[in-house]
A and B are shown apart, each in its own frame.
Chain A
Amino acid sequence: MTDKNTVLEKKFISAVVYLRNDAGRIESFADKLTEFLSSNFVDYEIIFANDASTDDSIPVIKSLCARDSRMRAVSIVQMGHFQGQESAMNAGRDLAIGDFVYEFDDMLMDYDRDLMLQVYHKALEGYDIVSAGCSNAISVSSRIFYHYYNRLSASEKDISSETFRILSRRAINKVKMIDQYIPYRKAIYMNCGLESAFLTYESGDAGLRKKMMKGRHERSALAVDSLIYFTNAMEKLSIWICVLFAIVALAVGADIIYETAAFTHPVEGWRSTMGFLSIGFFGVFLVLAIILRYLSVLVNLVFKKTRYLIAGIDKVTS
Chain B
Amino acid sequence: MNNDTYDKIIIGAGLYGLYAADFCGKKGERVLVLERDGGAFRRATYINQARVHMGYHYPRSLSTAKKSAGYFKRFCEEYDFCIHRDFAQVYATSSRFSWTDAEQFMLFCETAGIPCEEVPVSRYFRQDMCDGAFLTREYTYDAAELARYYTDRIADMPNVSIEYGSRIEDILCDEAHNCFVITLAGGRKLEGAFLLNATYASTNQVLNMVRGAEHKEFDLKYELCEIILTEPSEELKNVGITVMDGPFFSIMPFGKTGFHSLTSVSFTPHITSYENTPVFRCQERAGKDVCSSQDLGNCSECECRPDSAWPYMDHLARKYMLPQYDYKYVRSLFSMKPILKASEVDDSRPTAIRVNHRSPDMVSVLSGKINTVYDMEEYL
Contact = CB atoms under 8 A, between A and B. Distances in A.
A318 B97 contact: no
Contacts of A177: 127-128
A45 interface: yes
A173 B269 CA distance: 28
Interface residues of A, number: 21
A306 interface: no
Interface string B128-145: 100000000000000000
B312 A315 contact: no
Band of interface residues on B? 10 to 19
Contacts of A23: none
A318 B127 contact: no
B316 interface: yes
Main secondary structure of the interface of A (DSSP, over half): mixed
B319 interface: yes
A318 B315 contact: no
Contact of B97 (A42, A45, A94, A173): A94
A313 B311 contact: no
Residues of B contacting A: mostly: loop
Contact of B309 (A98, A173, A310, A318): A318
Interface in A159-199: 169, 173, 176-177, 180
A99 B247 contact: no
Interface string A91-116: 10011011100000000000000000
Interface string A31-72: 000000000001101000000000000000000000000000
Interface string A287-318: 00000000000000000000000100101001
B311 A75 contact: no
B127 A313 contact: no
Contact of A94 (B96, B127, B312): B96
B315 A42 contact: no
Nearest to A94: B96
Interface string B204-248: 000000000000000000000000000000000000000000110
Contacts of B97: 94-95, 310, 313
A290 to B, nearest CB: 34
Contacts of A148: none
Contacts of A228: none
Given A97-B315, A313-B97, A176 B127 contact: yes
Given A97-B315, A173-B126, A318-B271, 10 more contacts: A12-B315, A43-B311, A43-B315, A97-B312, A177-B127, A177-B128, A313-B97, A313-B266, A318-B266, A318-B267
Interface of A: 12, 42-43, 45, 73, 75, 91, 94-95, 97-99, 169, 173, 176-177, 180, 310, 313, 315, 318
8 contacts: A43-B311, A45-B312, A98-B315, A169-B319, A177-B127, A313-B97, A313-B247, A318-B309
